[in-house]
């Protein structure tokens, strides 16, 4: 299972990175209503900055000391920190502990969480930048299975806007996005930043 999610992590990074490289308007609004494109990309890059020290067993405060402000070239920063994060995932033992803000989890748990975050934000970035919104079907299926099983916890967490009602026969990508409060039929969807 860990190897499968490592492969999915590489696919997710490609999904997001290919869209970062295609951005032409960094000030465009995104489905995360408090963010523009630059804010969204910066958020995902900062998440990558945290990965190597956290996978190395550092506490949040220790890891935080290694997270530094990003430079102005966000595309270059994305490629730099995505590469470092990818290398860290490849060597981290799946069952090793990782210290996160809400508690200690395994590397594999953190990996699944990170893949899910990047997949959802890949759609956000595509929508904001006017790019192809079609996500890798294998990623959609894996993240759907993960998040659908956590449906009640997601609603209570406040990480996402309230789910959007969609038909049960809607495409799986549409249902996944709806579960995270994203309405594919509207230009922008109000919701908590980061969700």
When divided into structural domains, the chain yields a total of 1
Give per-10-residue mean pLDDT for the chain (195 aa): 88 98 97 93 98 97 95 98 97 96 94 96 97 97 95 72 90 96 71 43
Q: What is the pLDDT of residue 173?
A: 98
The CATH number for 138's domain is 1.20.120.450
Q: Where are the beta strands (DSSP E) in the chain?
A: 97-100, 103-106
The reported pLDDT for the residue numbered 193 is 39
pTM for the whole structure: 0.92
Q: What is the DSSP string of 111-139?
A: HHHHHHHHHHHHHHHHHHHT---PPPHHH
**Per-residue tokens: 134:** 């079609």
Residue 191 placed within a domain: no
Q: What is the pLDDT of residue 25?
A: 98
In a domain, 125, yes or no: yes
Predicted pLDDT of residue 1: 56
């Amino acid at each position: 299972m860990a190897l499968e999610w490592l492969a999915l992590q590489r696919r997710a990074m490609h999904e997001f990175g290919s869209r970062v490289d295609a951005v032409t308007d960094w000030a465009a609004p995104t489905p995360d209503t408090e963010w523009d494109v630059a804010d969204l990309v910066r958020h995902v890059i900062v998440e990558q900055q945290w990965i190597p020290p956290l996978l190395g067993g550092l506490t949040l405060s220790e890891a935080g000391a290694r997270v530094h402000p990003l430079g102005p070239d966000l595309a270059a920063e994305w490629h730099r920190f995505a590469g470092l994060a990818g290398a860290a995932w490849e060597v981290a033992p799946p069952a090793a502990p990782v210290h996160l803000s809400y508690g200690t989890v395994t590397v594999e748990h953190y990996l699944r969480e990170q893949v899910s975050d990047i997949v959802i934000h890949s759609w956000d970035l595509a929508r904001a930048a006017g790019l192809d919104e079609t996500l890798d079907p294998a990623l959609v299926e894996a993240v759907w299975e993960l998040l659908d099983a956590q449906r009640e916890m997601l609603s209570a967490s406040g990480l996402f806007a309230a789910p959007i009602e969609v038909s049960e026969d809607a495409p799986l990508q549409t249902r996944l996005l709806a579960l995270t409060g994203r309405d594919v039929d509207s230009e922008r969807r109000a919701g908590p930043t980061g969700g």
